[in-house]
Amino acid sequence: MPPLVSVVVTAFNQARFLEDAVNSVLRQDYDNIECWIINDGSTDSTEAIAQGLMQQDTRVHYQSQPNGGVSAARNLGARCARGEWVQFLDGDDWLASDKLSRQLAAVDGKHPDRLVIYSDYERVERSGLRQRCEIGSQPPEALARRLLICPDRLADIPFPLLQQAMLLHRSVLAQFSFDETLQACEDRAFGLALLRDGARLVYVPMVAAFYRQHGANLTQNARILRQSYAALFRWVGDRYPDLLPDCQRSLYFLLDTTLEAGEYDLFRAIAPLVQFSSQEALIEEPLRLLGGTLPVRSHQDLRLAVALRRLLPARWLYPHQRGPRLRSLLARFGK
């Protein structure tokens, strides 16, 4: 008999998408599945929709918890799952109908212990535009370096190891879990742990999942993202300090965006992670803050940047915040 696959669908106020997500599980061309809906404290009609889906198909099961974030919901789903293989799916995304069958076919002849199968995926914009994110078979070191680029627009290649496009052997979840202290970036931390601590990865070239981008995505909340990036980099510094050189470009970007937003607590939290001694080897241009006006070569310069930002409003320092009158005034001053 083919192995049981447990698909864990996590949902927080995603009632309008939940039926599509669960139906993409039930319509797999692989039959031996169970589907766990984990309601992460939703205040919309998520529970009612889940109850209806359970009545329609006995393979659907339901659990709820007070709102604890996607990591806590996935960890609960992993404890509920009875399958040899586990698939995570956010409640606003969906799977390709042949995902499970094709990924499991790649296991043939391989020992499944600590095995992680990953594939490509598509980003689906609100406009309906789709973009294929092709990952390819890459060494763990390259995958880890890409996971440390935050935000994704700083990179010229897609985000790898998207949960929706992965399939995990149960032994993986006996060793690894999602960090419940992270509101976002939990995928990055989980992926880094897999890559550094002994999981075995296999790439299957296919579009395995569809990642929906819309206004309600947590990743659209800029402050939460900055907080999560800062928490991720501190986590890397504590657990894998040898990876900090690969974090520097992202740290520089985060320093300037937190300074622009006046989030001095976040600035101070990540400033100790910046490495100046090897800066020339890590980045082509020197670190510049305050809209590119202040070159920074030491931690003392970082403190100066904070002092200047406290004195001056952001629109004076960051060109994209200036209105026409201020641009004209500064142009005359410059002359």
Query: What is d(CA 253, CA 150) in angstroms, rounded to the nearest whole number?
Result: 8
5-218: CATH, from 3.30.360.10, 3.90.550.10, 3.30.2350.10, 3.40.50.720: 3.90.550.10
Provide the pLDDT for residue 143: 97
Task: Give pTM, 2 decimals.
Answer: 0.89
- Give residue 290's pLDDT: 86
SS3 75: helix
For 289-331, what is the HEC assignment?
Answer: ECCCCEECCCHHHHHHHHHHHHHCCHHHHCHHHCCHHHHHHHH
Q: Report the alpha-carbon distance of residue 306 to residue 248 in Å, rounded.
A: 19
Q: What is the mean pLDDT of the chain?
A: 91
Tokens of 275: 């490495």
pLDDT band (50, 70, 90) for residue 286: low
> How much is the pLDDT for 217?
54
**pLDDT at res. 335:** 52
Tokens standing for residue 60: 């659907």
Contacts of 255 (CB under 8 A, 6+ apart): 267, 270, 271, 274, 287, 289, 302
- Joined tokens for residue 15: 């009632």
Are 294 and 266 in contact by the 8 Å Cβ rule? The answer is no
What amino acid occupies position 86? Answer: V
Average pLDDT over residues 139-157: 94
Q: In the numeric block, which tokens belong to residue 291? A: 């809209």
Q: How far is CA 118 from CA 135, 193, 238, 268, in A?
A: 9, 15, 27, 36
Quick: pLDDT tens for 15-74.
999 999 999 999 999 999 999 999 999 999 999 999 999 999 999 999 999 999 999 999
Which are the contacts of 28, defined by CB distance < 8 A and separation ≥ 6?
Answer: 95, 97, 98, 99, 100, 101
φ and ψ at 324, to 5 degrees?
-60, -40
pLDDT (tens digit per residue) in 65-108 = 999 999 999 999 999 999 999 999 999 999 999 999 999 999 98
What residue spans in the chain does CATH classification 3.90.550.10 cover?
5-218
In this structure, what token pair is assigned to residue 258? 């937190």
Asked whether residue 282 carries a pLDDT value surpassing 50, the answer given is: no
Mean pLDDT throughout 153-163? 94
The pair of structure tokens assigned to 281 is: 């080897």
Residue 209 has pLDDT above 50, yes or no: yes
| pLDDT score at 279 | 47
